[in-house]
Amino acid sequence: MTLKLPIYMDNHATTPVDPRVLEAMLPYFTQVFGNAASRSHSFGWTAEKAVEAARDQVGALIGASGKEIVWTSGATESDNLAIKGAAEFQKDRGNHIITAQTEHKAVLDTCKRLEKEGFEVTYLPVGKDGRVSAESVRAAMTDKTTVVSIMLANNEIGTVNPINEIGAVVKEKGAVFHVDAVQGAGKVPFDVNAARVDLASLSAHKMYGPKGVGALYVRRKPRVRITAQIDGGGHERGMRSGTLNVPAIVGFGKAAEIGRTEMASEAARLLALRERLRQGIQSQVEHTFVNGSMEHRLPGNINISFAYVEGEAMLMALKDVAVSSGSACTSASLEPSYVLRAIGVDEELAHTSIRFGLGRFNTEEEVDYVTALVVGKVKKLRELSPLYEMAQQGIDLKSIVWAAH
C-alpha cells in the first residue's frame, strides 16, 4: 500500500466518520426521513424507532439505559446543559461548583458564566501528571457544593482522571457529579454506575460518528433534575427541545456500538502505534519531554515538547501531517496552552509542544513516515535555533535576563 498524504494525526480534534457509520446513516436522509416527534404516521414512527435504538446503543457504551440519554447538538451543548442545568436547579440548596483547571473550555467558560451570575467556582489544580486527585475534590467540597464537573480524559495531554474515586467522594457529600467524557468514551472503559456519575457529556464526532450531534447522560435512579436551557416543543422529556437530527443520531448509535465492541482491540492496536511513534522519536531526538502521565493516558495520545523548537514552526515543517501544538502562536491570544501551564510545564517548553492524536485509521506505515519526518525537521529547526546553540555552548538559558515582549 502506498502512503497517502496528508496524514491525519489529530484525532482529538475530530475523527473521520467510519464507513460502517455512514452506511447506517444514509437511509435516514432520503427514505426514512420522518420527524421522530410525529406521532400520527409511519414516517414518524420509523424515525422514532431508529432514534430509540440509537439511545440504547449510546447508553450501552457507558453502562446506562437508553432512557437516560438526552440528544444534543454536541458536547459543548451537553456541558452547558449539565452544569448550568444542575446548578440552576439546585440554587436554593447551594451555589458552589467544583471543576479543574485543565477542563475543556466548554466547561470552564460555562463555569465563568455562572460566576458572573453569582455562583462560586473552585478551579482545582492538577498534579504534574495532569490528573485531578479525589483528595483535592474532597478538600474543596463544602455544604454549599451542588455540582462537581471533572473530565474523563484530557483533550490535550490525554491523561485519564481517577473518575471512580472522584465519584465516590462527590457522592459522600451528595453533590451532582458531571463528567465530560468526550475524549475518553469509546477509548477507555467508563461506566456511569461504577463511577457514580449523574451527568455525562458525549460527542459523536470524537468516536468516528458525524459532527453536530452529542448526548447528555442524565441519571434516572436516583433521578437527577436539571433546568432546560432550550425551550420549545418539550422534546427529550422537556430537557432539550428541538427536532431530532435523526440520521446523525443513527450514526452516533452505530459509532457507539462499534466503540463498545471494538474498544479493547482498538486500544491495544493504538497503544502499540503510539509507543512506536514515541519510542521512534525519543530514541532519535534528544531533549524531548512527554507532557502528562504515561500510565494513565488515552492509548492514541502523545504530547511531546521538543526543547528549543517552537511549536508552530514545527507544524509548518510537518506540513503533510495534521497535528496540533500548545504553542501560543497557534492561538490568537499569544498565550501558550493553559493545560500545559496547569501541569507545571515551563512557558518556553509549552511553546514547543506537539500533540499527536492517533486514531482508528492510522497505520504503522504512517507512524514510521511521521517519525522520520519529525526527527529530520527537529534537527533542521534546531540548527536554526539560537536557544539550541546557546544550550550546546553550556549557557543556562534561565540565567539570561530576557526582555519579555
Partner 1 sequence: MAYSEKVIEHYENPRNVGSFDKDDPSVGTGLVGAPACGDVMKLQLKISDLGIIEDAKFKTFGCGSAIASSSLATEWVKGMSIDQAMAIKNTQIVEELNLPPVKIHCSVLAEDAIKSAIADYKAKRQKTT
What are the residue numbers of the active site? 329
Among 328, 345, 367, 370, binds partner 1 (CB under 8 A): 328
Segment 339 to 368, residues that bind partner 1, using CB under 8 A: 346-348, 351
Least Cβ distance, residue 332 to partner 1 (angstroms): 6
Segment 263 to 292, residues that bind partner 1, using CB under 8 A: none
* 222 interacts with partner 1 by CB under 8 A: no
Q: Per CB under 8 A, which region of 85-93, 190-198, 206-214, 326-334 contacts partner 1?
A: 326-334
Sheet arrangement for strand 120-124: 69-72, 214-218, 199-203, 176-180, 145-149, 96-100, 120-124
Residue type present at position 219 = R
Euclidean distance between CA atoms 327 and 335, whole angstroms: 8
* 1 interacts with partner 1 by CB under 8 A: no
Among 140, 329, 373, 375, binds partner 1 (CB under 8 A): 329
* 337 interacts with partner 1 by CB under 8 A: no
Q: Per CB under 8 A, which region of 58-66, 77-85, 86-94, 310-318 contacts partner 1?
A: 310-318
Q: Nearest to residue 131, comparing CAs of 156, 154, 165?
A: 154
Q: Per CB under 8 A, which region of 18-26, 178-186, 273-281, 308-316 contacts partner 1?
A: 308-316
Residue (78 or 325) nearer to partner 1, CB: 325
* 310 interacts with partner 1 by CB under 8 A: yes
* 405 interacts with partner 1 by CB under 8 A: yes
Least Cβ distance, residue 154 to partner 1 (angstroms): 22
Segment 108 to 167, residues that bind partner 1, using CB under 8 A: none
Say which residue the cell 526543547 belongs to: 307
> What are phi and psi for residue 321, nearest 5 degrees?
-130, 130
* 386 interacts with partner 1 by CB under 8 A: yes
- Compute the 3-state secondary structure of the chain and give helix, strand, coil in percent, each to the nearest 5: 40, 15, 45
Residue 132 CB burial class (10 angstroms; 0-12, 13-18, ≥19): buried
Residue 372 CA, distance from chain mean position:
28
Among 1, 334, 394, 399, binds partner 1 (CB under 8 A): 334
Continuous segment of H or E residues that includes residue 117: none
Q: What is the DSSP string of 215-281?
A: EEEE-TTTT-----SS-SS-TGGGTS-S---HHHHHHHHHHHHHHHHHHHHHHHHHHHHHHHHHHHH
Residue (214 or 336) nearer to partner 1, CB: 336
Name the residues that contact partner 1, by CB under 8 A.
308-313, 316, 327-330, 332, 334, 336, 346-348, 351, 383-389, 397, 402-405
